[in-house]
Amino acid sequence: MDYNQEKKVVKFGGSSLSCDAQFIKSAAIIKSEPSRRYVVPSAPGKRFSEDTKVTDMLIRCYELASRGEDYSAVFEDIKGRYNSIIEGLSLKVNLEDEYAVIDEKIKSGTTLDYVASRGEYLNGILLADFIGYEFVDAADVIFFDSNGVFDADKTNNIMSARLQKTENAVIPGFYGSMPDGGIKTFSRGGSDVSGAIVARAVMADIYENWTDVSGFLMCDPRIVENPKPIKVITYRELRELSYMGATVLHEDSIFPVKLAGIPINIRNTNNPSDVGTMIVPSAEEYQNRDILTGIAGKKGFAVIRIEKDMMNQEKGFGMRVLSVFNDMGMSFEHLPSGIDTMSVVIAEKDIKGLESEILTRISREVNPDNIDIETNLGLIAVVGRGMINTPGTAYRIFKAVAAENINVRMIDQGSSELNIIIGVDEKEFNRTIELIYNEFCG
Ligand code: ASP
């Protein structure tokens, strides 16, 4: 076996493995490059928009069983999903014994994590059989501690030793095992995390994440028509955008590959010739003339504005304001401040019904000249490594927004200069994103 050849870890999402036809597409992708040696599958996802994911069907079985209700119809549907893949692909493998074990375990009151994980487990068996790769159960190579916290070191040691012994393997996503042998899953969408863990363990050259979109778009296509795709984005930029709600990839999947400096390539199973988005540790080697990488935003914020003359000279002012939130068990999102003003931006749902208590407590702590709460704030993050060396970016953003008389209620520039966050009234949220996009990409 030549260990110097290029190695790719390829993860296929639920829509890429939802039925026999999608299995065929995914297998063709795997087989088109010998470097695609380690494959991490999700459970069968939706075949059409009203369809139900197998993971959700399994969770439903668990819920019904735990209430003492009959789950057999849902369980039969799950079997039907796998059996139609087996038939469609003319596989020799038979899952009847596996179904019986799962059914038995549900009956005897097993855990939700065990039941939920079986979607990936069964799909992994089918995929391994179809493409002729070895099946490696994730329970043998991904570990959690007895508190259910992912054990990165143990996993990395055992998994890398195990996978070195095999040229090609399928490792189901989403779960691993605890010291007592019990199954534990990551949070929903966690097969992305498994893929990243495998990529780190085998020191892959690249982690390909195959899904049903051709990577990230510069902004939400429901807000801007046909936004440009993002070809290259750094881990840090992605972090800024996903914090603001841009989702394609599970957030925790960044960490293992970032640690190992492995790029992630988001690709489209239904359009494999699209290059997709590359997520890279640093973008120096990639030519890029774009100033902005992406724009994302979230609604539902409130801003508490505190004013006091000579605030800047008052020792411990900020600390006392923040102690109020700390004491009330709330975490804030942003903290833009001026010489005599300080604003605390916080999720509106966290302060519902507690507004007057917050104002009273802060007033007691710092005796401000003025204090108020404004709600219905939408935050928009304008993110781009290209902004660092481009003077006038902020000017262009504000000029574009001001031209339509949109009032910017808050500004916060991250210390990295990688992003500028602006707060506007929720009513002007979509329009603001459109204006900024058009200014730079229109
Ligand atoms: N099947 C799991 C879910 O639906 C995990 C995954 O697909 O990544 O959340």
Lowest mean pLDDT among 12-16, 140-144, 290-294, 415-419: 415-419
* pLDDT at residue 247 greater than cutoff 80: no
Q: Ligand 1 within 6 A of 133 CB? A: no
* pLDDT at residue 425 greater than cutoff 90: yes
Ligand 1 atom nearest the C-alpha of 190 is 8
Question: Tell me, what's the pLDDT at 315?
Answer: 87
Nearest CA owner, ligand 1 atom 5: 189
Q: Ligand 1 within 6 A of 190 CB? A: yes
Question: Tell me, what's the pLDDT at 4?
Answer: 57
Question: Tell me, what's the pLDDT at 253?
Answer: 85
* pLDDT at residue 415 greater than cutoff 90: no
Ligand 1 atom nearest the C-alpha of 189 is 8
Contact predicate 207/280, CB 8 Å: no
Can you tell me the distance from the alpha carbon of 221 to that of 294, in angstroms, rounded to the nearest whole number?
12
The residue to which tokens 């040691």 are assigned: 157
Question: Tell me, what's the pLDDT at 24?
Answer: 98
Residue range 143-153: mean pLDDT, rounded: 96
Tens of pLDDT, residues 124-147 = 999 999 999 999 999 999 999 999
* pLDDT at residue 203 greater than cutoff 70: yes
Question: Tell me, what's the pLDDT at 236?
Answer: 87
Task: Print the SS3 string covering the chain.
Answer: CCCCCCCEEEEECHHHHCCHHHHHHHHHHHHCCCCEEEEEECCCCCCCCCCCCHHHHHHHHHHHHHCCCCCHHHHHHHHHHHHHHHHHCCCCCCCHHHHHHHHHHHHCCCCHHHHHHHHHHHHHHHHHHHHCCEECCHHHCCEECCCCCECHHHHHHHHHHHHHCCCCEECCCCEEECCCCCEEECCCCCHHHHHHHHHHHCCCCEEEEEECCCCCECCCCCCCCCCCECCEEEHHHHHHHHHCCCCCCCHHHHHHHHHHCCCEEEEECCCCCCCCEEEECCCCCCCCCCCCCEEEEEEEEEEEEEECCCHHHCCCHHHHHHHHHHHCCCCCCECCECCCEEEEEEEHHHHCCCHHHHHHHHHHHHCCCEEEEEEEEEEEEEECHHHCCCCCHHHHHHHHHHCCCCCCCEEEECCCCCEEEEEEEHHHHHHHHHHHHHHHHC
The residue type at 179: P
* Phi/psi of residue 418, nearest 5 degrees: -85, -20
Ligand 1 mean position, distance from CA 183 (Å): 15
Most informative mutation of 60, 191, 209 for ligand 1 (most atoms within 8 A of CB): 191
Between these two residues, 100 and 334, which has the higher pLDDT value? Answer: 100
Question: Tell me, what's the pLDDT at 264?
Answer: 95
* pLDDT at residue 181 greater than cutoff 80: yes
The domain locations on the chain are 3-212, 294-441
Can you tell me the distance from the alpha carbon of 286 to that of 258, in angstroms, rounded to the nearest whole number?
17
Question: Tell me, what's the pLDDT at 241?
Answer: 85
Question: Tell me, what's the pLDDT at 75?
Answer: 98
CA dihedral of 181, 182, 187, 192, whole degrees rounded to 10: 40
Q: Which CATH number fits domain 3-212: 3.40.50.150, 3.40.50.2000, 3.40.1160.10, 2.60.120.10?
A: 3.40.1160.10
* pLDDT at residue 283 greater than cutoff 80: no
pLDDT, the chain, mean:
93
* pLDDT at residue 353 greater than cutoff 90: yes
Between these two residues, 246 and 276, which has the higher pLDDT value? Answer: 276
Ligand 1 mean position, distance from CA 188 (Å): 5
Which of the four pLDDT bands, split at 50, 70 and 90, describes residue 26?
very high
Q: Ligand 1 within 6 A of 185 CB? A: no
Which of the four pLDDT bands, split at 50, 70 and 90, describes residue 286?
low
Q: Ligand 1 within 6 A of 187 CB? A: no
Q: Ligand 1 within 6 A of 437 CB? A: no
* pLDDT at residue 411 greater than cutoff 90: no
Question: What are the tokens at 119?
Answer: 């979607």
* pLDDT at residue 1 greater than cutoff 60: no
Which of the four pLDDT bands, split at 50, 70 and 90, describes residue 337?
confident
Question: Tell me, what's the pLDDT at 398?
Answer: 92
Question: Tell me, what's the pLDDT at 288?
Answer: 65
CATH number of 294-441: 3.30.2130.10
Q: Ligand 1 within 6 A of 189 CB? A: yes
Q: Which residues pair with 337 in a beta bridge?
A: 342
